[in-house]
Chain A
Amino acid sequence: MLFTLFKKIIKTSAGRTKFVLAFVGLSVALLLILSAIQIHANFNQLLYGKNNSDSTANFLVINKEVNNNTVNATVLSNETLQEIKQQPYIEAVGIISAGRFKASIESLIKSFPFYTDIAFESVQDDFIDVSSKDWKWNEEANFIPMIIPNMFLDIYNFQFSMSQGYPQITPESLKMMNFKVNLYDVNGNIKSYIGRIVGFSDRISSVLVPQSFMDWANKNFGNATTTNPGRVVIKTKDPGNPALVKFLKEKGLTTDADKTRFSKYRQIVNVVVNISWITGVVMLLFALLIFTLFIQLTVASCKDEIQLLITLGASPQQLKAYLMKQFFPSNIVITVIALIVVSVLQFLMFKVLQQQNIFLSPFISLYTLLISIVVLIVLWWVNHSTIKKYIAGK
């Protein structure tokens, strides 16, 4: 009842246009800020997430440069491995273990005959850019999953098949084919298994098998001597980092220079994200200023009425509570609208990117939610302190 009477006395209709402007301004500002945070969160998910088949994270395979001095001596020493691990810009190092046994692979299909000697490598699953449910192996299984470089398929489809008159083959049909994989032990005994390609990697140019299979096969078929790896995969935030490039050069190591283009994409995304949130914050400040002015205008235009209310005994708390109730709910509405819009955009982005095998969360990140709560608290504080300031002046 009291607030109904207050509403008749304290008219908030003065400067309605300014209020609408502030409303729109604040909505856009919040949208920009929340989008920037969401994009940042998505980008982090892509960089550090483990379920993306085409990750933009920066993994580099490094090995010694093969030249006249290093021929047949490209094994990485323990000291070098230790040094690589200690570099601050290298987040993780994955050892690529090579098979120490002979192997061959042959086709089981007559229309697609081939036979070749082959060598396997393996690396911890975290460093592989393919996710497949078939990527597992145990001793009981007769089936060996393999990941081959995309490049192999390209070589076959665009060079080999054309020159030999074989049909081209799609990744999907290749995945459905079974191969015979022969493993030779040190005495030349052969054991055959079924192998199948479960994915294609852009990251590691090698025929990969699961680490568990590699350990088992090395034990059962390989020679007993253990050697250090010749190649490692490193995970780094920025492959364009001059310190990394300098380090690799000093140690006579090389890597795929083309990978640096990922860092360029990332820098562009970073710039866009930064521009977005800085614009958002600036707009938020202006929107807050307009809100503050709007509250000031309302209080000033009802100066006499508020004065009389206080004379009659209205307490500052009652007036503050009333004015907060008039101004603050619109802020909550704006925040909720911004959150809904960002959620819808995120879901759409999830749908679109899913088709390109890039997996994002369909929901907004916890950070986005937290920041919107923080912004709401800031809005509450600005409203509250402005009202307090102008009421106290009466």
Chain B
Amino acid sequence: MQIKLQKVVPVPLKDKIELRNSDVWNVEQTFSSNDWVKIKAPSGTGKTTLIHILYKLRFDFSGTIFWDNENCINITENKLAQYRQQKMSVIFQDLRLFQNLTAQENIELNRVLQKPYYESSVIQSMAEQLGVAHVLQQRAGLCSYGEQQRICIIRALVQPFEILLMDEPFSHLDNNNISIAANLIAEECKKRNAGFVLTDLDEDTHFNYTQKISL
């Protein structure tokens, strides 16, 4: 899969963007399944906005986005669901778990939305790897932010994808947990020959990035 941005400028950030140079806004930029991209940017520069625009959650921008050469605007609801089930996965900064479902159910939901990529037992082994196996049967709303974030990571990794979008995916984790989670993500991306776009505040060496750009 390939996501191409053509002179994209989010309306709320228009004034700020015109005053500075960016590798993403108002230029041509492409993210594909071969790229492991790190986007480093300070707060308020539109990291979350970018992830949401790439995932077709926001439309308040000028310019054009192409998904596999098709104008994103023209993609129908059914095709959008297909993309999100088969080609794109996402880890939101604001986590977005169903608070009333257990951690296990939250992950299971994303596993069975399409023809399952993994057996249900993979959830357990991933949870053990990330140290959240003990909260799997707990309601997501009762888990700590760190636990919830790891649940979100597992949720994103149990489905098929070609591009993984990550919006500050480690913001609630300590260094040790970050490195374990990053290893799991790298492993899963390699397994699928998938690329990713990761946004964060700081420099890091969690992955072998193919591209580091700034907003």
Q: What residues of chain A have their CB less than 8 Å away from a CB belonging to chain B?
A: 1-2, 5, 8-9, 305, 308, 310-318, 392
Contacts and interface: CB of A to CB of B under 8 A. Distances in A.
B98 A315 contact: no
A305 B98 contact: yes
Contact of A9 (B85, B101, B114): B101
B112 A315 contact: no
Interface residues of B, number: 21
B81 A314 contact: yes
A311 B57 contact: yes
Contacts of A308: 96, 98
B203 interface: no
A164 B183 CA distance: 121
A313 B112 contact: no
Contacts of B110: 312-313
A310 B56 CA distance: 11
Contacts of A310: 81
A305 B83 CA distance: 20
B57 A8 contact: no
B38 interface: no
A308 B83 CA distance: 16
Q: Chain A contact residues: over half helix, strand or loop, or mixed?
A: helix
A379 B97 CA distance: 35
B76 to A, nearest CB: 9
B105 interface: yes
Contacts of A318: 81, 113
A392 B77 contact: yes
Interface in B72-129: 77-78, 81-85, 96, 98, 100-101, 105, 108-110, 112-114
A8 B78 contact: no
A315 B77 contact: yes
Interface string B60-81: 0000000000000000011001
Contacts of A311: 55, 57, 84, 96
A178 B83 CA distance: 92
Given A305-B98, A313-B81, A313-B85, 11 more contacts: A1-B112, A2-B109, A2-B112, A310-B81, A311-B96, A313-B84, A313-B110, A313-B113, A315-B78, A315-B81, A392-B77
Nearest to B100: A8
Contacts of B55: 311
B26 to A, nearest CB: 27
Contacts of B78: 315-317
B113 A312 contact: yes
16 contacts: A2-B109, A8-B100, A9-B100, A308-B96, A313-B84, A313-B113, A314-B81, A314-B113, A315-B77, A315-B85, A316-B78, A316-B81, A317-B78, A317-B81, A318-B81, A318-B113
A8 B110 CA distance: 14
A314 B98 CA distance: 14
Contacts of B100: 8-9
A313 B110 CA distance: 8
Contacts of A305: 98
Interface centre among A305, A314, A315, A318 (most CB of B within 10 A): A315
A308 B110 CA distance: 11
A310 B108 CA distance: 16
A8 B101 contact: yes
Contacts of B101: 5, 8-9
Contacts of A314: 81, 113
Nearest 4 pairs of A and B residues by beta carbon: A313-B84, A315-B81, A313-B85, A2-B112
B215 to A, nearest CB: 23
Contacts of B112: 1-2, 5
A2 B115 CA distance: 11
Nearest to B79: A315
Nearest to A11: B100
A100 B58 CA distance: 99
B105 A8 contact: yes
Given A8-B100, A9-B101, A312 B84 contact: yes
Given A8-B100, A305-B98, A312 B109 contact: yes
B87 to A, nearest CB: 10
A140 B186 CA distance: 104
A220 B101 CA distance: 97
A5 B84 contact: no
Interface in B19-65: 55, 57
A5 B96 contact: no
A293 B122 CA distance: 42
Contacts of A316: 77-78, 81
Contacts of B108: 1, 5
Contacts of B81: 310, 313-318
Nearest to B102: A8
Interface centre among A2, A9, A312, A314 (most CB of B within 10 A): A312
B212 to A, nearest CB: 28
A312 B113 CA distance: 9
Interface centre among B57, B109, B110, B159 (most CB of A within 10 A): B109
Interface centre among B78, B98, B100, B159 (most CB of A within 10 A): B98
Interface centre among A5, A305, A310, A318 (most CB of B within 10 A): A5
A7 to B, nearest CB: 11
A317 to B, nearest CB: 7
Contact of B113 (A2, A9, A392): A2
Interface in B150-174: 159
Contacts of A8: 98, 100-101, 105
B55 to A, nearest CB: 8
A318 B81 CA distance: 10
